[in-house]
Amino acid sequence: MDYENFAIHGFFIKYPISCKVELDPDSDWNKGNVVFKLPTGDRIFLSWGPIQTAIKKYRDLLTFANAGLDRIRKMQMVTKIEAVETESKKVYGHDTIFSHFKVQLGKPSLFSLFKRQETVLREIWTYHGFCHDSERYFIIYGISEMRNSVKLSEILRYMQASFRCHAPK
């Protein structure tokens, strides 16, 4: 697979050239989002914000990462969530929390009173990190349909390995 360079507000990451890239128009150096949309419908996101906001609210990196999982658990369409793995990893020299989980979503039906709700399975991988050099947190995460999960997992691993959140020291 061929990759292209993407850089914005001090962040750098390589992404598949087949992606459509969308930047949240409200993004700035302090806080923002960019999504890399693959032709398969899978998506990879890069989000960032002020590190002090995250530390003040969540106290540490693990609590910060778990809060993201809790937000997914509370989503109305989520009917089941299974943690596959959680571990500490390094991303550009920073400690991060890597999480991988499977989510079952209840797909709303027009005739939900008369028909059993259809389910959709997704896999999600996340890297939550704090960059003290730029004083920002970052989250790199991918969402995939189960049939594409191995491929997206490989793409996400490549992207996080290429990720830079500040200039080299």
Q: Is the pLDDT of residue 76 over 80?
A: no
Structural contact between residues 39 and 21, judged by C-beta atoms closer than 8 angstroms: no
Structural contact between residues 12 and 167, judged by C-beta atoms closer than 8 angstroms: no
Confidence at 47, pLDDT banded by 50, 70, 90:
very high
Q: Average the pLDDT over each of 41-50, 61-70, 128-137 and give the range with the smallest value.
A: 61-70
Q: Is 65 helix (H, G, I), strand (E, B) or coil?
A: helix
Any domain includes 167: no
Any domain includes 169: no
What's the helix, strand, coil split of the chain in %, to 5?
20, 50, 30
CATH number of the CATH domain containing 113 = 3.40.1000.10
Mean pLDDT, residues 112-126 taken together: 76
Any domain includes 58: yes
Average pLDDT, the chain: 89
Structural contact between residues 111 and 144, judged by C-beta atoms closer than 8 angstroms: no
Full domain range(s) for residue 11: 3-162
Mean pLDDT, residues 8-27 taken together: 97
Any domain includes 168: no
Structural contact between residues 130 and 93, judged by C-beta atoms closer than 8 angstroms: no
Any domain includes 19: yes
Any domain includes 66: yes
- Burial code (b: 16+ CB inside 10 Å, e: under 16) for 72-96 equals eeeeeeeeebeeeeeeeeebbebeb
pTM equals 0.88
Q: Is the pLDDT of residue 24 over 90?
A: yes
Any domain includes 101: yes
Choice between 36 and 169, residue whose per-residue pLDDT is larger = 36
Domains identified in the chain, total number: 1
Mean pLDDT, residues 102-111 taken together: 74
DSSP secondary structure code for residue 147 in this structure: G
| Amino acid letter, 166 | H
Q: Identify the pLDDT of residue 112.
A: 57
Confidence at 34, pLDDT banded by 50, 70, 90:
very high
Confidence at 113, pLDDT banded by 50, 70, 90:
low
Any domain includes 131: yes
Confidence at 81, pLDDT banded by 50, 70, 90:
confident
Q: Identify the pLDDT of residue 39.
A: 93
- Residue listed under structure tokens 């914000």: 49
